[in-house]
Structure 1
């Protein structure tokens, strides 16, 4: 390896290269994107179809089945999940990870377009949107006013929308909770009945007058003129001047028989902030932008608008500001990074002395900034995953520098000149350092290869670690030898700590090592017994996926019985809000009635859109679980007493999207069987200890009104069925007839309604009349009867099969894995009817995919590490010695998790896989140096004993610095990262102790030198 020699002899070139890389990293650090959570895309789309007044079964037959059939033909399909309810169908399509999001979105659009002509003509909305975790609001604002009407709030909201969307880094601004305004033509039923005018006649007159058909153009000589015809309505008075009928030279105008006004449509979504009427604006950040710069631009716009245009009785309040959380999170991680750096520096100083420690510590910021520059070039920004990657790498990157500096110092103590000591000492360990780095990189390979949600979510972390390790290798083989060559005579002196460690190595440790080498089978037997004993702890520790997010936010869902009116839902939500407000931790409550709160977290999509649903978005003054979890427990206890509503309290979770921690899918064909079984499953789940907040939307019934038309009588009177249907809709919710455009260019639907009933009422049917073929008005109830019937309220599809999804949360103190397994045991004893079965979803399904993908990639990584070791040692046997350290890392990892009370989560699994590369490094250094001494003529047992004694100090020091770098993050108490830290620390401690004994013992059996 000539790189260290080149770096030392061409020191000017080395300084220039390192300086340029450092400058690149510093510039990237200040300019690269910052966000709270990973900003990534995956191939997914959501299709939303709104067709008011259509039953769930009709939505399935007319809309869902044709769409699912077309989508199911697409390539690389992962799953299709569909929600079907009254007048609404939402289809979520996910493709295999690694496919191009843009291409797959285009495929979905093309599939929907192919079947669009087979769908009902009266569909109100058919939207196709891409699902992106990065497409999350970074800021939710509220315009609050009790004095101003919605029309005034709308003007301010739309003006702010235009101004905010011009801010650099803002992708879009969404306005929510703004009622739809429409021009209502409220017909006086008695007047039209007296005049013999049918609703169909009014509908035809207004629709004809509202149609804007361009007249074309006309030529006059050499000139050409555009011809304008009747055009749009110019005012509400013009709407009223529409002629409905001419009777005996007398015109009957629309204003004679109807009241015309611009007003709100029937309420479907309203919002309040802290009890006051509100309109929400959600700002979505453009991917790759810097959140703090975006926030500065937004604040300038808001400040200017607040001072110049906002009335005193309209307040602009912040509901959620992600930049505050990002700043707190990034500051916290960098505090951990800085604390770890100080610990590493102190340890290096105590053991190596001032000037050698200075060389080691200099490698830390240089390697980190070089890695940040490379990270910026790969397109990743600074967020929790990449910063944790830096924290993990902190303890690893000094290993290379310590090994090089310690070996150079040893050559200086042996009498070499500084330059020669630097060249010889660094070259001697260069291959071991390089192969150790490569094996560590390969241990992080599983996370890079995972093609699933968990892998995509975590990807920035292993990328950061890998880039930092390569940067540290570059520094260790170039700048570290160069700086080491300047150590001078100070490196010949050993510190008190180093002398103490060397004394332990040559005394206590060497005695125990010789005893172990004399009784190798006993040592191996004890080691294997410890390994088996630690494995028995695994069921006690438990398994989980991702923990709670520790956010100062909660969601409270209020589900009212099917058929509940909007006003009653709003009243119940207000009662729940009043109770929640009594909690001292609560700061603000945003009440959403008719729909979920705008999207403010990367793995939560907006909830249901129906009048019997409300959601409270609660912001808190604390995020620590020891304060939030008792609050959640109290709320669940108090809210359980609310009769007439199902109220659930939701905490935010880390990781890829999941419906709920526990999810059981009841799958079948017959909806009656599915509904009956789902109710039984709901009851079974509710009895399992640890289960809380069981939800089963399919288990609910709804009562519909069925207008049973006497077709024979309608035919005899010459009343078309379409006329009856249209008249009923007009009387109840209104019938759109065209569009009205005001002077400011705003468009509003022209809606025909009956004036007697501002809200749809059952009594309306008594007054509805339809026109017969003879021109007579016939009461509707002479042609039809109104009957009540019970039907299913909503159901789901999973991969085109009918399904009921029953979900629940898990109480603190219980693991999701244990609770899910208990539920499954109960369900296996249930008598399932023919054609109905269940599947487990939720966290368990995600965990199996995540851990399964990790295990496959881990096997590949192990083979890669083995190949590197074969190349280095030129032997197939000696790599087995190095691999012996890996199982012993599991002992310490499981023991540490057991003592600290953490479960074996996905991040703990990451810690365990990281250990593979870390512990292998120590074994490589040991075996490589023993081989060098044997090539110089030393006998096998003497060589391994001498190598273990010589490498005792750097192995212990690299272990301590790795632990020191991780200690602040581990002690932070983070439910996400502490398990990973404890797994690495525990595994390192135990594996280092066993490596220093077991590896020499195995070397005695398997240390045959290659030919």
Structure 2
């Protein structure tokens, strides 16, 4: 006919009746249907996991309470580069539209995690703090210099911030928590250049008695070089921190990057924008005279103070040496606070989140139902905590994993004896206790339950920074598997005996039994039955074999057809001995004739790290000494009396794997590794910063001795930083270290301003002692203004648990070191009189 046709035969299986009516054999000329040899049911598959939802005592008013409702969790991740807040809001809006249409009215939706909302709250909060920091600096400058200078300085801030945000866009940084903290941190230091320029213009106008442009230009020139070098010194202190390796590098990168950009932009703004705006908003000479009269009284008091203190220390050497010895003794006494644990050290402090997770491991081989029942028992205990709003249990399945779960491989948890409980809390503004304190109470409530069932439990809090396997990790190496596992078991007992460790566990499995069918290959071959045929029929009998599928109605996914023996038969493997196995000869042979069921001990998992076999023992550091290093030292003390199975005394390595793994040894990992790498790299960054700052100051003064005097106050910042942490009962963290390093550049700025002014006076013929007294008189006020500006800007982040350490370092460090700088620098410069005279002669 000239046409092409496709011919279709048969149809999809669509119902259970279609399956029942399938012919599987012919017996004496009559067809044998599936319904004749099996029962066909269209029903829910046997449970392999349980997910239940519970409301807590802090359930919001108007919401219906529920206990153990069956649930399904849907996790949605945003694409890279998209706005998490917008994505989250769009998802919630789409769900609202579908409620009652696609989603039935009797199906309730609960949002158990919304990182878009939390990100929006953090950004809004930090933007508010950004405004507050700006207002604090504005008010401070207003009181110190007057309204018009305050307006000038304040107008610089948004200009610099906006240009820095544009630079962040060019560098690929998003506006997140850390980048906003970088901007807030920058506010306190980016106004320094503007304050110095405005203050010096006003000072020169008063000296001349005329507010002309030439004097303003010369005033900017006068402080130009020291301001440029001082700004470069701050940048030199910040930039090396951008090269910190490991996970903490990208996490903290916005602080040095955006801080440095802000400083460079503020330098340009101080010379170009601030000086021009000062001319446009200059006060009347009458107003300036009033300001000068007020400033004169202040300067006279400052001058009287320094003329009383400094000459006495210079003339009476015993006073000078007493001051020096007292300063050194105080420095070492303050540093001893680390040794006595008056101030503890930690990578990052505990955050205050609205969730945490209970990770439960029952003894291997525990049934799914038992695991679920124990999870419910734990839920009952957790509902005694008043801040809990809701809980979800995941038995035999992993909850949608977060960054912490990704690193700890929680997404692999699918065994019947594994469970997770997701605990949701009130918003941090609606509760008095931090999530860490609540998690500690949860641990105390649940520990008796887990111990009674010989289970292992971990309270997994959301980490404040890069996550780790657990805070304390011992990686056990040894000559063979038996030795490694014995050492790991011994370490587990040692960890259990230490008060500062909780949630102790190891990655080994407890011995548990499994059934194995041992095939007699000779008999199977004689009967014409392959090993694969036996395995396939066993899979079909036990329910793990998908034969085909059916298309039910308009369902998007097909429904699998599974063959399986009745549960009563499957629960007793020995009863499968009569299972007929077909042979190639057309006959069937009972399974029992082809082999036998035997009980075996399940194999242990085998772990490798860098191709080396290893065992892991893990725990979380708890209590006041929450950093891992403290319980690690306690473990090391206990190991002095320990002998490994191969007869060795072992001690852990802290900075890398043991060289010789043919004998028992171990390496400390976990949070300690990130702590060591971060503080090591920050220490290197600090050393590089000191070298660069030294080179800058040498280049400015063309002298090798004077820069050492100028940099002498840098370690004095610790006299404020360490006691400041003790006052606030705060831990010295990585952010504290960032504040300390940043202060190196900030303090050098003050020193440069003092020394440069003194050199200019010496150039006019003034002796070094008088020059330093005049420098203190003229520069103390702008130095103190900039110091208080930094303290005011940093004060707004004092309440943040993560960046509190940085705020303390900046506030206490700059305050104490500024006061000491005004004494140490004059004394040091007079002692280095020859160098000062050489520099003055070359100017």
* TM-score, normalisation: structure 1: 0.74
For residues 340-489 of structure 1, the aligned pairs below 5 Å read 340-414=133-207, 415-486=209-280, 487-488=282-283, 489=285
Gap runs ≥5 in structure 2: 55-67, 647-662
State the 1:273 CA deviation. Answer: 1.6
Q: 1:596 is paired with a residue of what secondary structure?
A: coil
Q: Quote the Cα distance in structure 2 between the aligned partners of 1:800 and 1:735.
A: 35
Q: Quote the Cα distance in structure 2 between the aligned partners of 1:478 and 1:846.
A: 43
Of 467, 480, 501, which residue of structure 1 is paired with 2:298? 501
TM-aligned CA distance change 1:492 to 1:483, over 3 Å: farther
1:574 matches 2:574 = no
Contact 2:348–2:802 (CA under 8 A) maintained in structure 1: yes
1:530 paired residue number? 330
TM-aligned CA distance change 1:329 to 1:914, over 3 Å: same
The 10-residue stretch of structure 1 (490-499 or 929-938) with the greater mean CA deviation from structure 2: 490-499
Q: Quote the Cα distance in structure 2 between the aligned partners of 1:916 and 1:620.
A: 41
Contact 1:351–1:496 (CA under 8 A) maintained in structure 2: no
State the 1:308 CA deviation. Answer: 3.3
1:73 paired residue number? none
1:614 paired residue number? 419
Contact 2:543–2:565 (CA under 8 A) maintained in structure 1: no
State the 1:669 CA deviation. Answer: 5.3
TM-aligned CA distance change 1:798 to 1:231, over 3 Å: farther
Q: Quote the Cα distance in structure 2 between the aligned partners of 1:984 and 1:268.
A: 55
The 10-residue stretch of structure 1 (533-542 or 685-694) with the greater mean CA deviation from structure 2: 533-542
Q: 1:794 is paired with a residue of what secondary structure?
A: coil
Residue deviations 1:297-344, cap 9 Å, x none? 223212211143322211122112223322332233233333322222
2:824 paired residue number? 998
Q: Quote the Cα distance in structure 1 between the aligned partners of 2:78 and 2:457.
A: 32
Q: Quote the Cα distance in structure 1 between the aligned partners of 2:585 and 2:9.
A: 34
2:65 paired residue number? none
1:251 matches 2:251 = no
State the 1:637 CA deviation. Answer: 2.4
1:124 paired residue number? none
For residues 505-516 of structure 1, the aligned pairs below 5 Å read 505-516=302-313
1:668 matches 2:497 = no
Of 623, 628, 632, which residue of structure 2 is paired with 1:820? 632
1:322 paired residue number? 115
TM-aligned CA distance change 1:759 to 1:382, over 3 Å: farther
Q: Quote the Cα distance in structure 1 between the aligned partners of 2:109 and 2:494.
A: 47
Contact 2:488–2:617 (CA under 8 A) maintained in structure 1: yes
Contact 2:791–2:811 (CA under 8 A) maintained in structure 1: yes
Q: 1:348 is paired with a residue of what secondary structure?
A: helix
Q: Quote the Cα distance in structure 2 between the aligned partners of 1:286 and 1:491.
A: 58
2:87 paired residue number? 294
State the 1:449 CA deviation. Answer: 0.9
1:830 matches 2:830 = no
1:631 paired residue number? 438
1:546 matches 2:352 = no
Q: Quote the Cα distance in structure 2 between the aligned partners of 1:495 and 1:287.
A: 57
TM-aligned CA distance change 1:830 to 1:748, over 3 Å: farther
State the 1:736 CA deviation. Answer: 2.6
Q: 1:938 is paired with a residue of what secondary structure?
A: coil
1:859 paired residue number? 687
The 10-residue stretch of structure 1 (885-894 or 255-264) with the greater mean CA deviation from structure 2: 255-264
1:953 matches 2:781 = yes
The 10-residue stretch of structure 1 (955-964 or 850-859) with the greater mean CA deviation from structure 2: 850-859
Contact 2:344–2:625 (CA under 8 A) maintained in structure 1: no
Residue deviations 1:168-225, cap 9 Å, x none? xxxxxxxxxxxxxxxxxxxxxxxxxxxxxxxxxxxxxxxxxxxxxxxxxxxx85x655
For residues 577-726 of structure 1, the aligned pairs below 5 Å read 577-601=379-403, 604-605=406-407, 606-607=410-411, 608-623=413-428, 626-642=433-449, 643-644=452-453, 645-668=455-478, 670-726=480-536
2:660 paired residue number? none
Of 811, 836, 841, which residue of structure 2 is paired with 1:1007? 836
Gap runs ≥5 in structure 1: 1-219
Q: 1:666 is paired with a residue of what secondary structure?
A: strand
State the 1:481 CA deviation. Answer: 0.2
1:979 matches 2:805 = yes
Q: 2:614 is paired with a residue of what secondary structure?
A: strand
Contact 1:435–1:868 (CA under 8 A) maintained in structure 2: yes
For residues 132-171 of structure 1, the aligned pairs below 5 Å read none
State the 1:757 CA deviation. Answer: 4.8
Contact 2:344–2:732 (CA under 8 A) maintained in structure 1: yes
1:933 paired residue number? 761
1:558 paired residue number? 360
The 10-residue stretch of structure 1 (926-935 or 434-443) with the greater mean CA deviation from structure 2: 926-935
Of 123, 128, 132, which residue of structure 2 is paired with 1:335? 128
1:129 paired residue number? none
For residues 216-231 of structure 1, the aligned pairs below 5 Å read 225=5, 228=8
For residues 194-233 of structure 1, the aligned pairs below 5 Å read 225=5, 228=8, 233=13
Contact 1:269–1:594 (CA under 8 A) maintained in structure 2: yes
Q: 2:366 is paired with a residue of what secondary structure?
A: coil
Q: Quote the Cα distance in structure 2 between the aligned partners of 1:262 and 1:860.
A: 71
TM-aligned CA distance change 1:886 to 1:658, over 3 Å: same
Q: Quote the Cα distance in structure 2 between the aligned partners of 1:407 and 1:996.
A: 19
State the 1:788 CA deviation. Answer: 1.8
Q: Quote the Cα distance in structure 2 between the aligned partners of 1:300 and 1:710.
A: 62
Residue deviations 1:474-532, cap 9 Å, x none? 21111110111131323343278644531332111232122234345444333323322
Q: Quote the Cα distance in structure 2 between the aligned partners of 1:545 and 1:625.
A: 25
The RMSD of aligned alpha carbons is 2.5
State the 1:952 CA deviation. Answer: 0.9
TM-aligned CA distance change 1:827 to 1:228, over 3 Å: farther
Of 301, 304, 315, which residue of structure 1 is paired with 2:97? 304
The 10-residue stretch of structure 1 (842-851 or 532-541) with the greater mean CA deviation from structure 2: 532-541
Contact 2:240–2:689 (CA under 8 A) maintained in structure 1: yes
Q: Quote the Cα distance in structure 1 between the aligned partners of 2:432 and 2:234.
A: 34
1:734 matches 2:544 = yes
Q: Quote the Cα distance in structure 1 between the aligned partners of 2:528 and 2:837.
A: 103
Contact 1:344–1:961 (CA under 8 A) maintained in structure 2: yes
Q: Quote the Cα distance in structure 2 between the aligned partners of 1:775 and 1:603.
A: 52
Q: Quote the Cα distance in structure 2 between the aligned partners of 1:335 and 1:378.
A: 24
Contact 2:359–2:458 (CA under 8 A) maintained in structure 1: yes
2:701 paired residue number? 873
Q: Quote the Cα distance in structure 2 between the aligned partners of 1:899 and 1:761.
A: 66
Contact 2:574–2:597 (CA under 8 A) maintained in structure 1: no
Contact 2:49–2:416 (CA under 8 A) maintained in structure 1: yes
Contact 1:698–1:792 (CA under 8 A) maintained in structure 2: no
Equivalent pairs counted in the alignment come to 789
Contact 1:413–1:493 (CA under 8 A) maintained in structure 2: no
Q: 1:787 is paired with a residue of what secondary structure?
A: strand
State the 1:593 CA deviation. Answer: 1.4
TM-aligned CA distance change 1:935 to 1:388, over 3 Å: same
Q: Quote the Cα distance in structure 1 between the aligned partners of 2:198 and 2:432.
A: 44
Q: Quote the Cα distance in structure 2 between the aligned partners of 1:758 and 1:1000.
A: 93
1:768 paired residue number? 579
1:784 paired residue number? 595
State the 1:599 CA deviation. Answer: 2.4
